Amino acid sequence: MIAAYILFALAIAALALLRNSVISAILFTTLLLAFPILYFDTLARPKALSEEIRRDAEVGILGYTYTEGVAVYYLMALPGLMEPRLYYEPWTDESRARVEKMQGATERGETMVMRLPFERSLSEARDIHPLPQPALPIKKQPPEIPDFSE
């Protein structure tokens, strides 16, 4: 999006040199002022899972919501980032099954993880599973009992 904006601005700047400079300057200034508003509005919207360029093996799902027949929205904790990100995927039979799986895990109080969330290939399907529970602490060996039979 930024590259398209820059190319468009350069084209208008070139027109300013060749033709009516007043109209070109007004159009260029309008674009320059509108860009921050459009750019930050885009940042506030959820991003499609298929559009992400990251290739994380697993990400944590902090929350989710859905609009049946439209989309499933995920709040994800990405590795290496402090702040969570908002993503969505279109409503399909697979996404419906993931929602049902997450509803069950939420009722049990489990934290969910999505495997290969940004994979585009059809062979590697997204999978949701509970976060593995940490291992229990190792129990201490009981003290040896002395033998008093002698």
pLDDT in tens, 86-120: 999 999 888 898 899 999 888 888 888 998 888 87
For the chain, the average pLDDT equals 80
The strand pair at 71-77 and 127-130 is best described as unpaired
Per DSSP, helices labelled H in 1-150 are: 2-18, 21-43, 93-108
> SS3 for 48?
strand
Sign of CA dihedral 120, 84, 72, 63: positive
Domain ranges of the chain: 2-43, 49-130
DSSP state of 68: T
Under the banding of pLDDT at 50, 70 and 90, the label for residue 128 is confident
Sheet with 71-77, edge to edge strand ranges: 47-48, 85-90, 71-77, 58-67, 112-115, 127-130
- Reported residue count of the chain is 150
Residues of the chain with pLDDT > 90, as a percent, come to: 23
